Amino acid sequence: MKWVTRERAHVDRIACPWLIKRFVDENAEFLFVPADKVHDIAKRENAIPFDVKDAELGHHGEFCSFDAIIKKHGLKDPALLELARIVRGADTDKPELAPEAAGLDSIATGFKLISKDDFDNMERQFPLYDALYAFCRHKTGQTR
């Protein structure tokens, strides 16, 4: 399946592809396009829009797109729910939600600055999210 979002990805628009690839659709393809083109390209490419205004898989109230994907796909893993708090805190400028949120925001900004494009950024950051997920599994007692 194809998924489409806004270009110049930061926290949520990198965390969501990681979540999708790891827990929803391992063969997912991602498109990063100008914000005003997301819905048109979604229709043309038969792609699922995310983290864009008026998308089902977008921000709703205090929750970010990462949360929307977890909810839509019925993911109940306690470690993912913990990771969602971190992502939400970093993405919505509410670092008080999780002690790791401010660090994630800073690291995501750094990756955005050193990456040549959104695909490079995504490739560089997936190991970060793998590590954060492992940390959350440990934190929630799922590993020793």
- What pLDDT shows up at residue 144? 62
Within 6-117, where are the H helices?
11-19, 38-45, 65-72, 78-91, 101-114
- Across the chain, mean pLDDT equals 97
Residue 7 pLDDT exceeds 90: yes
What is the structure's pLDDT at 136?
97
User: Span 108-136, mean pLDDT?
Assistant: 98
Contacts of 37 (CB under 8 A, 6+ apart): none
% of residues, the chain, pLDDT over 90: 99
Nearest-CA neighbor of 136 among 23, 8, 9?
23
Q: For residue 83, what is the DSSP state?
A: H
Three-state secondary structure call for residue 25: coil
pLDDT tens, position by position, 65-112: 999 999 999 999 999 999 999 999 999 999 999 999 999 999 999 999
